[in-house]
Structure 1
Amino acid sequence: MSGTGWPDLVAFLTSIGYGVASAIFPVVNAEAYVVLSQVSATIGALPIAIGLALGQTVGKLALFYSVRAGRESRFVRHRRARARSKPKGRARQRFDAAVAWLLALVGTKRWGLPIVLVAAIFGIPPLYAVALLAGATTMKAHWFGLMVLIGRATRFVLIAEGSLNLSGLFH
């Protein structure tokens, strides 16, 4: 962290909390938080970026684990059995095929982790959706978490550094 004062520690801890919230609730925007924190220029970029990355990793792992646990629940098994018994229209068949293809792609050893890393850095495909898909695969949670942490830290540090260059426009 830049400096060892209480303001940096508070900013770091607050950023972790904000990161968790933004990982679970997409309307809470972590990127805006990074930019606004740097416009004020009272706290360094690293405590904010690393705190948000840690928080986002915790939040995305919560989504990952909720899907993993939820797919074996009695409610989900009942819904799946009920859905199989109903005839499907063309649109539903296409949707199901697309989801199956994405699950297969994210679940492969060759493409799963690179997809998570690209989603964490660039947001394409959306990391929220990737976290849900990854939870439905056999991907190891620790590898998923590591890719999210590396990707999000990279993303937020780049955004913070870019906003530091822009903050001179507001002073």
Structure 2
Amino acid sequence: MLTLLGALGFGALSAFVPVANAELFAVAAGRHGASVTTGLVLALAVGQTLAKVGLFEATRRGSAILARHRRRPSSRWATHVAARLGHRATRAPLVLTAATVGLPPLMVVSVAAGATAQPRWEFGALVLVGRIARFSALAAPVALALG
């Protein structure tokens, strides 16, 4: 149980601190048996998801405050990402791709998504699915090789 809590905490930490690499943690988790690896991957993904939803929410609340004050022009790139996240047809694929592949970076997408009308539940679900897929893909080969 303590190991799972450690994975959850490490996932949350790695969402903010790049030196705490969740991908390396997932690979290292693969050295345990399949059931332990599965639990560690899920805990790691949940920790990262909670932290990314925290970024999303902080941006959402911060953008509401900034909207009451003077707006500064945003960059062309930020406008492009926000536009994609603002459309129902493109927001889910963009968030899922960022969560699974890492391009565009999930941290950037988390912040940009918070400034759009994307529902929190949708963002969180997509990040969780993408993170589980990413970490599973990294841990599975090690678990199978050592299995």
| TM-score normalized by the length of structure 2 | 0.88
Alpha-carbon distance in structure 2 between the residues aligned to 1:76 and 1:70 = 10
Provide the aligned length of Structure 1 versus Structure 2.
Answer: 146
Larger Rg: 1
Residues 41-63 of structure 1 deviation map (CA, whole Å, 9 limit, x = unaligned): 36721011000111011000000
Report the CA distance between 1:98 and its aligned residue: 2.1
70 and 31 in structure 1: CA distance in 2 versus 1, 3 angstrom threshold: same
76 and 155 in structure 1: CA distance in 2 versus 1, 3 angstrom threshold: farther
- The residue aligned with 2:131 is 152
- The residue aligned with 2:100 is 121
Alpha-carbon distance in structure 1 between the residues aligned to 2:91 and 2:67 = 28
SS at match of 2:64: coil
Q: Unaligned regions of 5+ residues in structure 2, if any?
A: none
Percent sequence identity is 33
SS at match of 2:15: helix
| TM-score normalized by the length of structure 1 | 0.77
1:12 and 2:4 aligned: yes
SS at match of 2:89: coil
SS at match of 1:160: helix
On the 8 A contact 1:23/1:59 being kept in 2, the answer is yes
SS at match of 1:18: helix
- The residue aligned with 1:101 is 80
